[in-house]
Structure 1
Amino acid sequence: MSRGEVRKEDAATLEKNLRIISTRIRREGRKVLRDFPITPAQFDVLQTLFFQGEKRMSDISRNLGITKSTTTGLVKRLIDAGFIERRRSERDRRSFIIDISSSGKSLIEKVIDRRVEYLRSVMTEISTEQVISLEQIVSLLLEVMDSKKTAE
């Protein structure tokens, strides 16, 4: 199959639909947070640490696009709640490394489980052939996106 022209309207429709799907999945997963003393902004910090590993405070700020003072407040509350841990950097004793704790990992895993269960319940309404086709489309999109990312 050769590469073809894609109309801007088609790309805009796909972007809109993916955004709607992403928002609905995120909203469903965050229902888990109702049982925990954590805000969506704090959850964003947890996700960053869960998926990307330990970080310095400045890395968290840069990654999330928030000020260092905002990051300090979020991190302090997460430490107090036991969801993350702080330790001195071995390379630079003046700075601290922030990492997710086992209870933080457990919370993220509960949210992911909720998201997966939500998607599973939605996907049961779709035929097997359509699910396979959807998986192929998503796989192709990710493959092209990854190749563009490495080319930049």
Structure 2
Amino acid sequence: MSVGEVKKEDAAILEKNLRTISTRIRREGRKVLRDFPITPAQFDVLQVLFFNGEKRMSDISRWLGITKSTTTGLVKRLIDADLVERRRSDKDRRSYIIDISAAGKTLIEKVIDRRVEYLKSVMTEIKSDQVKELEVIVKNLLEIMDSKKTKD
């Protein structure tokens, strides 16, 4: 098979395997949340802010595909837990900007560390040359996906 020739069945198998891996990594990381008064939905809000910077409430809603009223409840509980901060927008005094707090960043970093440790423990069962091959394949996939994203 040459470059460009991929069977739909092969893509379906890859999609399923990547989804399964992602779910297992996410599940492992979320074990950290048991020690904090936070729900998975609230954690999703934290991740948006951690990885993408401060946002308006409407931006968070759009990003997560949830209603503004749901976002308001999630953010209020995160403010009460001191995991995010809210301030008036400098550009539009009618709206608020939500940003992750230092405690929120620490929580996300703990989750990421747990995920990395989990992956590290799994990867010890893989030969080092296979790990390097996997890194190259994943990097190539991401580059191709990024190039297609800008074209669409």
TM-score w.r.t. structure 1 length?
Answer: 0.98
Is 1:39 matched with 2:39? yes
Cα deviation, 1:9-68, whole Å, max 9, x if unaligned, reads 000000000000000000000000000000000000000000000000000000000000
1:2 offset after TM fit, Å?
5.4
Cα deviation, 1:64-113, whole Å, max 9, x if unaligned, reads 00000000000000000000000000000110000000000000000000
2:139 matched to which residue of 1? 139
2:96 matched to which residue of 1? 96
Q: Could you say what secondary structure the match of 1:122 adopts?
A: helix
Alpha-carbon distance in 2 for matches of 1:4, 1:66: 37
- Name whichever of 2-11 and 29-38 sits farther off: 2-11
Alpha-carbon distance in 2 for matches of 1:92, 1:2: 54
1:79 matched to which residue of 2? 79
1:151 offset after TM fit, Å?
1.5
Gaps of 5+ in 2: none
Alpha-carbon distance in 2 for matches of 1:121, 1:3: 33
Alpha-carbon distance in 2 for matches of 1:86, 1:21: 35
2:105 matched to which residue of 1? 105
Aligned residues between the structures:
152
| Displacement over 4 Å in runs of 4+ | none
Tell me which amino acid in the other structure corresponds to 1:21. Answer: I
Identity of aligned residues (%): 82
- Name whichever of 46-55 and 142-151 sits farther off: 142-151
Alpha-carbon distance in 1 for matches of 2:42, 2:86: 15
1:3 offset after TM fit, Å?
2.0
The equivalences for 1:23-62 within 5 A come to: 23-62=23-62
The equivalences for 1:111-150 within 5 A come to: 111-150=111-150
1:5 matched to which residue of 2? 5
Alpha-carbon distance in 2 for matches of 1:2, 1:58: 46
Alignment root-mean-square deviation, CA: 1.0
Gaps of 5+ in 1: none
